[in-house]
Amino acid sequence: MIKNHIAIACLIAISGTSALAQEKVLNIYSARHYPTDEALYANFTKATGIKLNRVDADDAGILARLKAEGTASPADIILLVDASRLWRGEVDGLFQPIRSKTLEDAIPVQLRGKPNGSGEIPWFGFSTRARVIVYDKLRVKKDDVDTYEKLGDSRNKGKLCIRSGSHPYNLSLFGSVTEHLGEAATEQWLKGMVANLARSPKGGDTDQIKGVASGECGIAVTNTYYLARLMRSNASEDQSIMDKVSIVFPNQSSWGTHVNIAGGAVARNAKHTANAIQFLEYLASAPAQNHFANGNNEWPVAKGVTLNNPALQAMTTGGFKSESLPISVVGMNQVKVQQMLDRVGFK
């Protein structure tokens, strides 16, 4: 009998050890498609022993998949790259709000979701990118493009290149402008931008920059990390592009330049919640924040982290004023913005 008890105890111990080993895993649904992030993931596994399984898709695809999977979803962590998508995931109840003193101490209030009645926070921003204006340094004066409002001014007729108005990056920018100007003025502004287009909206941000360099456009709108990639490139064609364009951080005399975020959340039906929180806390650490800055040319957001990316530093000598709107407020405006885009014919 004693031997049987010992055998059973050993089996329980072995089973428990096996279960613990199986728990050293984390399933990530990620909209971050940056090859440089591979080192970010590898360093986490090296430090913790937690294996990462990753599914890559765009923001909309990830949110749709989470809805379809419901409680059967294997996802533990959700990584998205736009404020409007983070807001949508929160509203649709796809995230599991958490408490983490580490994250609350590190991430500024305006760069995280609104806490619930228990003080739990649905998502956190881990890096930012500014949405700036590039212009042909020979054909366009800086004073004609130093605010977002001037993108819709008749002085810039036939000069503007921009990606689809319904792209999340633009939905967030337009949502920000709506918060500052109000709906009526924003709709007139969007109408003016349509009138100023040099070509129909198409392509990504890099295509807009190239359009300015080629002379097809006079001005364009882009996220800063696309510019930083070109600035840091050794390719002669990329250097030639940057020689032909200048950069302006809009609205420095008013509300400041719009910044968007990449952020993360614990999935609503996460099976490895403790591991998920540990991963989010890792993203707020100095090594991970420096990776965002140097690996993908994004601004780190955690308090006390020093920027040392030469391209971003060259863009912002002396710093720049960024808007202080809560990112969640910007996300909330996406529905009304899309309706405005439809009314003015902004494709």
Convert the pLDDT of each residue in 253-311 to its tens digit: 999 999 999 999 999 999 999 999 999 999 999 999 999 998 899 999 998 888 889 99
Average pLDDT estimate for 171-186: 96
**Domains of the chain: total:** 2
Q: Specify whether 93 is located in the same domain as 104.
A: yes
* Domain co-membership, 155 together with 250: yes
Residues 172 and 107 in one domain: no
We report the CATH number of the domain holding residue 195 as 3.40.190.10
Contact yes or no for 178/333 (Cβ under 8 A): yes
State the pLDDT confidence band at 346, using cuts at 50, 70 and 90: very high
As a whole-number percent, the residues of the chain with pLDDT over 90 amount to 82
Q: Are residues 36 and 140 in the same domain?
A: no
Which residue in this structure is represented by tokens 């490895």? 272
**Co-location of 104 and 159 in the same domain:** no
| Alpha-carbon gap, residue 227 to 241, rounded angstroms | 10
Q: Is residue 271 part of a domain?
A: yes
10 within a domain of the structure (yes/no): no
Task: Provide the 3-class DSSP secondary structure of residue 258.
Answer: coil
333 and 217 in a common domain: yes
Given this model, what pLDDT does residue 17 score? Answer: 37
In a domain, 314, yes or no: no
Instruction: Specify the pLDDT at position 21.
Output: 43
Question: Do 117 and 164 lie in a common domain?
Answer: no
Q: Which residues contact 24 (CB under 8 A, 6 or more apart)?
A: 48, 49, 50, 51, 275
- 312 lies in a domain? no
Predicted confidence (pLDDT) at residue 9 exceeds the cutoff of 70: no
Residues 154 and 164 in one domain: yes
Q: Considering only CA atoms, which of 179, 176, 221, 170 is closest in space to residue 197?
A: 221
Question: Considering the domain boundaries, does residue 8 fall inside one?
Answer: no
Q: Is 47 part of a structural domain of the chain? A: yes
CA dist., res. 127 & res. 212, Å (int): 27
The verdict on 70 and 141 lying in the same domain is: no
In a domain, 173, yes or no: yes
- 145 and 267 co-located in one domain: no
Which residues sit opposite 132 in a β-bridge?
Answer: 222
* Judgement on whether residues 197 and 331 belong to the same structural domain of the protein: yes
Instruction: Fill in the DSSP letter of residue 148.
Output: S
Quote the domain boundaries for residue 277: 26-127+259-306
* Those residues with Cβ within 8 angstroms of residue 260's Cβ, 6 or more apart along the chain or in another chain: 82, 83, 128, 129, 131, 169, 172, 173, 223, 327
Contact between 327 and 123 under an 8 Å Cβ cutoff? The reply is: no
Total-model pTM: 0.87
Check pLDDT > 50 for residue 18. no
| 26-53 pLDDT tens trace | 999 999 988 888 999 999 999 999 999 9
Examine residue 324 and state whether it is found in any structural domain, yes or no: yes
Do 174 and 268 fall within a single domain?
A: no
